[in-house]
Structure 1
Amino acid sequence: MRLSDAEILDYINEDLPYFDLTTSLQDIDKKASLEIYSRDEICVSCVDVAASIARLLGCESEIFVKNSQICKAGDVIIKIYGSYEDVHKAWKLAQVTLEYASAIATYTNKMSKAAKSVNEKCEVLATRKSFPFAKKFCVKAVLEGGGGMHRLGLSDSILFFRNHIKAYASFDEFISHLPEFKAKMVERKICVEAENLDEASKLLKAKCDVVQCDKFSPELIKNVLALRDEISPNTMILAAGGVNLANAKEFAAADAIVTSAMYSKGVADISARLEIL
């Protein structure tokens, strides 16, 4: 997955709409290099974007750690070369890109490894609750961390929440419409969120494609899985609501874990050092 030059230029122009006021005062005609390195063990993401930032600002770069690779504290991720002024333009734009993307990727990677240590078939899926105005960036980081996407948005998948079901007189009435919904969207899986074991049981009896178990305990998830195996073996069971790195192993019996946790982990510990050539 890649970000286009046009998308990256929009990001550059937010920080550099005209010129760098600080370096314009110095009038230094020298070359410089910038090493961006990790201060912790992380899963690197968007290093290709950092390289594109450098290129679009007139610099060259050398990548030492590729996307999805794990680097250790002290490892150089990318080195940028160019004029003193251009390297300064690229510096924070490239570093901040790596910091945010690698934080998402690192958390996703750790959570995925935790889940798969219990159930190798359990996938960690990120919700659509990405940063506003940065969906593509967040999706890229999740994928490079080894996770998948639960939903990219409203237009790519079907998921009925409690607020959708309120339009019907009862949960049973809503379920009676599932065959009708399926007939209209024959190529799509229909996912319905269940808030308790009774709702999950009714959805399984109706052969719902996917049951998303919201805020179920690990024990209840296992009960749903046992019921699924008995009456609707083709139904996928998702564990959602409050699942994160700390408890991922407890919910890993599910077919997949749905989470937004990777979006709220701040930035990876990444730094930079500049050298005048």
Structure 2
Amino acid sequence: MSQSAHSTQSPTSFEELVAEAEAAPTEGWDFSWFEGRATEARPSWGYARAMGERLAKAEAALDIQTGGGEVLNSADRLPPLTVATEGWPPNVAKATALLRPRGAVVVASPEDAPLPFADGTFDLVTSRHPVGPQWAEIARVLRPGGTYFAQHVGPRSAYEVVEYFLGPQPEGQSADRHPDRERAGAEAAGLEIVDLRAERLRMEFYDIGAVVHFLRKVVWMVPGFTVDQYRDRLRTLHERIEAEGPFVAHSARQLIEARKP
């Protein structure tokens, strides 16, 4: 999401803002549409830069749930063997167009399916915001001495948005994303934790269009979200933003680096 300050946009009415957000494409992990409409603080560790440094030294790398391939493509150098998986067909097409010219192969693979690779294929596995890490599969495809380096979404991320639309959520709803649970999952698969850090980061939505686009793009936040279903809640939130300023939420991010002995 954009880190810029709010700038004046042309659409201003509730209906205009919502219509514009509904028309915007949602494939890939390009968040430039939010420029001037929403901001999210960045984690201190700089995932893309750190990922790029590791890719530059790797021989064979796998990027899991690559989205539209934008994060992987940000690396200056890709290893001789670079493969990415992605499950959503529009993203598979987008990632292929972006990464094929760089010699990377994109494999269509559902996020919950076993990884379609032989044991010990990769010395580096990366992922930015996977739906859920398949620790046993990650460990299986890593070579001995290989590394899993990723940024995960932490527990109760952007729950101010979720709970505005769905009401209070059970405390254990996203407990499997807790750092302690992630550590346990990695270690159970035989990986050693090298680094594990967590941060909560401020998000601001400056207009209702940004909220609509966010919920259309990050579909697991409010499952089955449609404007028609939540029109009344959206209109109330629009009026609140107009009167009080940005709608504030907090994302949760975790950096995890694990090594296969």
Tell me which interval the TM-score lies in, with the shorter structure as reference length. Answer: under 0.3
Structure with more helix by fraction:
1
Could you state the TM-score of these two structures normalised by the residue count of structure 2? 0.28
Bigger radius of gyration among the two: 1
